[in-house]
């Protein structure tokens, strides 16, 4: 990606010139008398030869420049008009801006007026190429690396001061997310964004070029990269009012599972207005999922599954059905909805009782079949291909949900948990997880949950395994 332009040359052309006809030593020989010349020389040399593999180490080098009070020496070096120094400045500008060092930034711009700087390019540079490297820092580095919120607030303020409106749908999407990360409202976004030039639909399309930025924002690690993904109800309503709609069914389901009544009502008003009107006239229950009948809840899961199946596609998913009727002949989507339903207790164990009732509706003849599928969906022993999308489910949720369903007295002979050849390993992991959970709960002197169903199920299975192994071992003897 080309961020800056100077003398109409690309970065690769500059690097070729550096490796060929320019000698770095000759460029900085004039500054050898400086007492901290080795540090300055090392900084220029490492950057120009791309020897800094962990890019945030550039911040450490710049911090040392301040620590040893050699800023003026660095300014003089960077004022040189050689191609080597121009290339170094091109690399340094984003990191100088990240530090909020406007004095150094102004000095570089004054020495090299041919360098074109756009804040959107700097923001995109960090979030596309240095996201995980930049803000996954140790405690000792926190004084050197500004927080993501601090950087976002500075970038948002500078964009507003410069009046730098988005020049593309991608830049519009960047502006929106920077404002959300800054946690100071969406005033700057609405001030700079022109919906007549870039519609909400086009901004939602720009998200595909911003994937790495979005990976860090998923509270539930669901592949939902919608601009509507926010915890601020005011922001959510204002974005819906101007026409943003992407991933709304998925976010409605997430709001229900997180028991967020405010968000649930906002999404329902947009997606299911007739149901929203009926709910407004009644008293709100304690839990969001109690607002819905079992078929209606399953319909919401089905709509979310259809949306998620379109993640990464150019085409938009179909609009969710306004009625609660279900097309049982749509086998692939029904299968995806069932998989989601089986995993819900691990996302939020509080919903387990409601899921049990929903499974009795879903499997009216053999509800135990649905219960066993829930047991097999746990994230402790289930193989990755059997888990739901990319949910990062806490261990305590797995233990609580497993305890609930194993306590129903299920015959685990029909469970894939025991059919797999790795059942001994699975049993060991279950015991370790359950024991760890109990130990942590007791340390906090709080009421420990009863995990005897887990231990009983494991013990019974091991006894059955031993009984099966005895005649096989006898045959070998």
- HEC profile of 431-450: HHHHHHHHHHHHHCCCCCCC
Q: Which of 453, 344, 348 is nearest to 394 (CA)?
A: 348
Other residues' Cβ atoms within 10 Å of the Cβ of residue 309: 13
Q: Where are the beta strands (DSSP E) in 256-386?
A: none
On whether the CB atoms of residues 214 and 225 are closer than 8 A, the answer is yes
What does residue 422 show for φ and ψ, rounded to 5 degrees? -95, 20
Instruction: Write out pLDDT tens, residues 182-209.
Output: 988 999 999 999 999 999 988 876 655 4
- Euclidean distance between CA atoms 344 and 102, whole angstroms: 49
Q: Where are the domains of the chain?
A: 1-145, 147-209+230-244
Q: What is the pLDDT of residue 3?
A: 40
* Per-residue model confidence as pLDDT tens digits over 364-383: 999 999 998 888 887 666 65
DSSP symbol at 313:
-
CA dist., res. 345 & res. 257, Å (int): 9
Contacting residues for 351 by C-beta, under 8 A, at least 6 apart: 257, 287, 289, 344, 345
Sites in the chain below the pLDDT cut of 70: 1-36, 128-137, 205-225, 309-324, 379-392, 414-477
User: What is the total residue count of the chain?
Assistant: 477
pLDDT of res. 322: 52
Residues 415/463, Cβ–Cβ less than 8 Å:
no
Angstrom distance (rounded) from CA 99 to CA 154 = 10
- Copy the structure tokens of residue 253: 């389901």
Selection from 439, 336, 342, 355 nearest residue 393 by Cα: 342
Residue 4 in contact with residue 116, Cβ under 8 Å?
yes
Residue 297's pLDDT is: 94
Q: Closest Cα partner for 355 from 437, 272, 297?
A: 297
Q: Is the dihedral of CA 144, 148, 151, 153 positive or negative?
A: negative
What pTM was estimated for this model as a whole? 0.73
**In the numeric block, which tokens belong to residue 313?**
């596609």
* pLDDT for res 107: 94
């Amino acid at each position: 990606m080309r961020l800056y332009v100077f003398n109409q040359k690309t970065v690769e052309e500059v690097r070729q010139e550096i490796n060929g006809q320019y000698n770095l030593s000759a460029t900085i020989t004039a500054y050898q008398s400086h007492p901290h010349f080795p540090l300055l020389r090392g900084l220029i040399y490492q950057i120009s030869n791309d020897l800094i593999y962990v890019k945030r180490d550039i911040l450490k080098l710049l911090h040392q420049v301040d620590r040893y009070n050699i800023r003026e020496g660095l300014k003089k070096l960077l004022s040189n008009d050689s191609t080597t120094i121009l290339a170094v400045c091109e690399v340094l500008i984003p990191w100088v801006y990240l530090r909020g060092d406007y004095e150094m930034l102004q000095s570089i711009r004054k020495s090299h007026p041919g360098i074109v700087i756009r804040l959107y390019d700097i923001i995109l540079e960090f979030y596309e190429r240095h996201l995980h490297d930049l803000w996954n820092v140790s405690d000792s580095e926190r004084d050197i690396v500004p927080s993501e919120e601090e950087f976002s607030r500075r970038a948002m303020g500078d964009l507003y001061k410069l009046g730098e409106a988005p020049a593309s749908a991608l830049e519009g999407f960047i502006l929106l997310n920077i404002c959300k990360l800054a946690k100071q409202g969406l005033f700057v976004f609405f001030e700079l964004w022109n919906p007549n030039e870039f519609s909400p639909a086009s901004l939602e399309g720009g998200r595909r070029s911003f994937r790495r930025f979005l990976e860090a924002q998923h509270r539930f690690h669901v592949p939902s990269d919608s601009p509507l993904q926010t915890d601020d109800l005011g922001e959510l309503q204002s974005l819906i009012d101007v026409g943003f709609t992407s991933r709304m069914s998925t976010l409605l389901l997430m709001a229900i599972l997180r028991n967020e009544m405010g968000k649930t009502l906002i999404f329902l008003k947009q997606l299911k207005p007739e149901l929203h009107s009926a709910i407004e006239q009644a008293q709100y229950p304690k839990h969001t999922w109690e607002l819905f009948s079992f078929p209606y809840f399953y319909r919401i899961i089905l709509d979310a599954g259809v949306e998620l199946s379109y993640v990464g596609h150019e085409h938009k998913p179909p609009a969710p059905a306004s009625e609660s009727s279900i097309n049982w002949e749509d086998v692939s989507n029904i299968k995806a909805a069932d998989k989601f339903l089986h995993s819900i207790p691990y996302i939020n164990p509080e919903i387990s009782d409601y899921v049990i009732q929903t499974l009795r509706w879903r499997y009216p003849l053999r509800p135990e079949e649905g219960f066993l599928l829930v047991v097999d969906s746990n994230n402790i022993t289930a193989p990755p291909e059997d888990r739901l999308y990319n949910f990062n489910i806490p261990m305590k949720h797995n233990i609580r949900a497993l305890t609930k369903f194993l306590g129903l007295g299920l015959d685990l002979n029909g469970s894939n948990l025991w059919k797999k050849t790795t059942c001994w390993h699975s049993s060991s992991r279950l015991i370790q997880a359950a024991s760890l959970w109990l130990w942590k709960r007791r340390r906090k002197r709080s009421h420990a949950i009863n995990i005897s169903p887990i231990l009983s199920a494991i013990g019974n299975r091991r006894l059955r395994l031993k009984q099966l192994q005895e005649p096989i071992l006898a045959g070998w003897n």
